[in-house]
A and B are shown apart, each in its own frame.
Chain A
Amino acid sequence: GENVEQHPSTLSVQEGDSAVIKCTYSDSASNYFPWYKQELGKRPQLIIDIRSNVGEKKDQRIAVTLNKTAKHFSLHITETQPEDSAVYFCAASRAHSWGKLQFGAGTQVVVTP
Chain B
Amino acid sequence: EAQVTQNPRYLITVTGKKLTVTCSQNMNHEYMSWYRQDPGLGLRQIYYSMNVEVTDKGDVPEGYKVSRKEKRNFPLILESPSPNQTSLYFCASSPFSYNEQFFGPGTRLTVL
The chain A residues found within 8 Å of chain B, CB to CB, are 1, 6, 9, 31-32, 34, 43-46, 49, 51, 89, 91, 93, 98-106
Chain B, interface size: which category?
20 to 34
Check A102/B59 contact, CB under 8 A, given A43-B103, A89-B42.
yes
The chain B residues found within 8 Å of chain A, CB to CB, are 31, 33, 35, 40-45, 48-50, 56, 58-59, 90, 97-98, 100-101, 103-106
Q: Nearest residue in A to B97 (C-beta to C-beta)?
A: A99
Check A103/B50 contact, CB under 8 A, given A43-B103, A44-B103.
no
Other-chain contact of A46, B90, B101, B104 (Cβ < 8 Å) = B101
User: Which of A1, A91, A101, A106: most chain B CB closer than 10 A?
Assistant: A101
